[in-house]
Chains A and B, each alone.
Chain A
Amino acid sequence: MRLHELPDDVFVLGAHAADWRSAVRIAGEALVAGGVTTDAYAERMVQVVDEFGAYIVIAPGLALAHARPGPDVLHDGLAVVTLDEPVVFGHPHNDPVEVVLALAVTSNEGHVTVLAELANVFNDPTATTAIAHATTVGAVRAVLDRVQPDV
């Protein structure tokens, strides 16, 4: 999986979420729309936060929702959701969240490439805000692709 290969279906822009659970579920729906997971995966992503806390908010304004590999993951994939109003997840430093990424992988190996790509994108502290303010999928893709080699 590479960022520039993501289908349009996994991008949801300007979604409204009443709370963090809703935000994670919207990202789960995007994974389902993209054919990445079945419905069950969204609740497993919610459970990770219930169990371990809001550590998935890994940078200011940015959450990386995910769960372990499982039968509800059809293939490796990523969804990108922007929120019309930022949502509090309960992180001590990085709240509120305006961009939710949802990652699903079939095994613990093999997704390193896309995560290195995500690191390339978000090592730039302006990337989250740029994606949050994007009004088209093309504008989000432009941010995701701008620092990648070989794209």
Chain B
Amino acid sequence: MKIIAFCGAGIGTSAILKVNAERALARLGIEADIEATDIAGLAVAAEDAQVILASPELVKFIGKTYADVVVIENYFDLDELTRKLEIALG
């Protein structure tokens, strides 16, 4: 299982999203690799990913993908992350 945490610069916000997504997955008891990436790295990183996590502002940059795109409004809200990951992975 592979999950992408996506942001514009590949540092900072995607790393926060990765940390908190890992905490949400631990709550759910699900094991997955989470990779933080920027727009330049997204196409390659997403080839074998099940889920792409992104801000509402960034969805339009994702392009064609077989992964589920999950929009996260509050990157620090573990309840939101847990709820949306449970739906995407369930």
Residues of chain A whose beta carbon lies under 8 Å from any beta carbon of chain B: 48, 51-56, 58-60, 62, 64, 66-69, 91-94, 103, 105, 108, 111-112, 115-116, 118-119, 122-123, 125
Contact = CB atoms under 8 A, between A and B. Distances in A.
Given A93-B73, A119-B19, A68 B57 contact: no
Contacts, number: 87
A96 B38 CA distance: 25
Given A68-B10, A93-B56, A52 B73 contact: no
A118 B74 contact: no
A115 B15 contact: yes
Interface of B: 7-13, 15-17, 19-20, 23, 38-39, 54-58, 61, 73-78
Given A68-B10, A108-B11, A59 B76 contact: yes
- Does more than half of chain A's interface fall in helix, strand or loop, or is it mixed? mixed
10 contacts: A48-B8, A55-B56, A58-B13, A58-B75, A59-B74, A66-B13, A92-B73, A112-B15, A115-B15, A123-B78
B81 to A, nearest CB: 10
A66 B9 contact: yes
Contacts of A55: 7-8, 13, 54-58
